[in-house]
A and B are shown apart, each in its own frame.
Chain A
Amino acid sequence: MISEKTQKKIESIASKLPQRAAAMLSALRLIQDEIGHVPPEEREWLAGKLGVSPAAVEAVLSFYTLFRREPEGKYTIWVCSTLPCALRGCELLMDHLRHALGIREGETSPDRRITLKRAECLGGCDRAPVVQVGEDYHDVLLDLSLGTAKVSFERVEALLEKLT
Chain B
Amino acid sequence: MSEPILLANIGEPDSQTLEKYRSSGGYEGLRRAISDMSPADVVEEVKKSGLRGRGGAGFPTGVKWGFVPKDSSKPRYFICNADESEPGTFKDRLLMEQDPHAVLEGIIIGSYAIGAREAFLYIRGEFADSYRAMAAAIDEAKHASLLGMKILGSSYSLEIHLFRGAGAYICGEETGLMESIEGKRGHPRLKPPFPAAVGLFGCPTNINNVETVANVPLILRKGAPWYAEIGCERNTGPKLYCLSGHVKRPGVYEAPLGVRLHDLIYEHAGGMWRQGLKLKAVIPGGSSTPVLRADESDIDMDFDSVAKAGSLLGSAGVIVMDETACMVDSLLNILKFYAHESCGQCTPCREGCNWLVKIVRSIEDGKGKSADIDLVENVAGNIMGKTICPLGDAVAMPAQSFVRKFRHEFEEHVRLKGCPLKGAH
* Same assembly: yes
Residue positions of A touching B, CB distance < 8 A: 16-19, 21-26, 28-29, 50, 52, 56, 59-60, 63-67, 81-84, 86-89, 92, 120-128, 132, 135-136, 144-145, 148
Q: Give the residue of A16, A22, A52, A60 whose beta carbon is less than 8 angstroms from that of B185.
A: A60
Asked if B98 lies at the interface with its beta carbon under 8 angstroms from chain A, I say no
Contacting pair B183 A87 (CB below 8 A): no
Stretch binding the partner chain, chosen from B123-131, B135-143, B355-363: B123-131
Q: How far is the CA of A67 from the CA of B165 in the complex (A)?
A: 10
Contacting pair B183 A88 (CB below 8 A): no
Q: Give the residue of B90, B164, B246, B317 whose beta carbon is less than 8 angstroms from that of A25.
A: B164
- Contact mask B67-91 → A, CB, 8 Å, 1/0? 0000000010000000011111110
Contacting pair A120 B183 (CB below 8 A): no
Specify which chain B residues have a CB less than 8 angstroms from the CB of A121 in the assembled complex.
85-89, 287, 337
Extra 19 A-B pairs, beta carbons < 8 Å, given A123-B90, A148-B425: A19-B183, A26-B164, A50-B183, A52-B183, A63-B185, A64-B125, A64-B168, A65-B166, A83-B334, A84-B319, A87-B325, A92-B425, A121-B287, A123-B84, A123-B93, A123-B127, A124-B93, A126-B90, A135-B128
> Chain B residue with minimal CB distance to A82?
B87
Contacting pair A17 B425 (CB below 8 A): no
Q: How far is the CA of A124 from the CA of B127 in the complex (A)?
A: 10
Interface residues of B in 296-336 (CB under 8 A from A): 317, 319, 321, 325, 329-330, 333-334
A128 CB to nearest chain B CB (Å):
6
Specify which chain B residues have a CB less than 8 angstroms from the CB of A128 in the assembled complex.
244-245, 250
Indicate the size class of the contact surface on chain B.
35 or more
Contacting pair B161 A66 (CB below 8 A): no
Specify which chain B residues have a CB less than 8 angstroms from the CB of A123 in the assembled complex.
84-85, 89-90, 92-93, 124, 126-127
Q: A64-B167, A120-B169, A121-B87 are in contact. Are A132 and B126 (CB under 8 A)?
A: yes
Q: A25-B180, A26-B164, A67-B166 are in contact. Are A18 and B244 (CB under 8 A)?
A: no
Q: Give the residue of B283, B317, B425 whose beta carbon is less than 8 angstroms from that of A89.
A: B425
Q: How far is the CA of A7 from the CA of B14 in the complex (A)?
A: 35
- Contact mask B146-174 → A, CB, 8 Å, 1/0? 00000000000000010111111100000
Specify which chain A residues have a CB less than 8 angstroms from the CB of B166 in the assembled complex.
25, 28-29, 64-67
Contacting pair A124 B246 (CB below 8 A): no
B281 CB to nearest chain A CB (Å):
11
Asked if B251 lies at the interface with its beta carbon under 8 angstroms from chain A, I say yes
Interface residues of B in 324-353 (CB under 8 A from A): 325, 329-330, 333-334, 337, 340-341
Contacting pair B165 A18 (CB below 8 A): no
Q: How far is the CA of A126 from the CA of B337 in the complex (A)?
A: 19
Q: How far is the CA of A19 from the CA of B283 in the complex (A)?
A: 41
Q: How far is the CA of A24 from the CA of B164 in the complex (A)?
A: 11
Q: How far is the CA of A152 from the CA of B341 in the complex (A)?
A: 33
Asked if B201 lies at the interface with its beta carbon under 8 angstroms from chain A, I say yes
Q: How far is the CA of A17 from the CA of B200 in the complex (A)?
A: 12
Asked if B224 lies at the interface with its beta carbon under 8 angstroms from chain A, I say no
Contacting pair B161 A17 (CB below 8 A): yes
Contacting pair B183 A60 (CB below 8 A): yes
Asked if B103 lies at the interface with its beta carbon under 8 angstroms from chain A, I say no
Q: How far is the CA of A18 from the CA of B244 in the complex (A)?
A: 40
Contacting pair A22 B244 (CB below 8 A): no
Asked if B191 lies at the interface with its beta carbon under 8 angstroms from chain A, I say no
Specify which chain A residues have a CB less than 8 angstroms from the CB of B329 in the assembled complex.
86
13 CB < 8 A contacts A-B = A16-B161, A17-B161, A59-B185, A83-B245, A83-B319, A84-B88, A120-B85, A120-B341, A121-B86, A121-B87, A122-B126, A125-B89, A125-B245
Interface residues of B in 91-135 (CB under 8 A from A): 92-93, 118, 124-129
- Contact mask B181-211 → A, CB, 8 Å, 1/0? 1111110000000000000010000000000
Q: How far is the CA of A122 from the CA of B337 in the complex (A)?
A: 12
Contacting pair A84 B161 (CB below 8 A): no
Asked if B379 lies at the interface with its beta carbon under 8 angstroms from chain A, I say no
Q: How far is the CA of A144 from the CA of B248 in the complex (A)?
A: 12
Q: A82-B333, A121-B337 are in contact. Are A60 and B252 (CB under 8 A)?
A: no
Asked if B423 lies at the interface with its beta carbon under 8 angstroms from chain A, I say yes
Specify which chain A residues have a CB less than 8 angstroms from the CB of B184 in the assembled complex.
21, 24, 56, 59-60
A99 CB to nearest chain B CB (Å):
17
> Chain B residue with minimal CB distance to A19?
B201
> Chain A residue with minimal CB distance to B91?
A123
B167 CB to nearest chain A CB (Å):
3
> Chain B residue with minimal CB distance to A27?
B183
A97 CB to nearest chain B CB (Å):
17
Q: How far is the CA of A122 from the CA of B126 in the complex (A)?
A: 7
B163 CB to nearest chain A CB (Å):
7
Q: How far is the CA of A126 from the CA of B248 in the complex (A)?
A: 10
Specify which chain B residues have a CB less than 8 angstroms from the CB of A52 in the assembled complex.
183
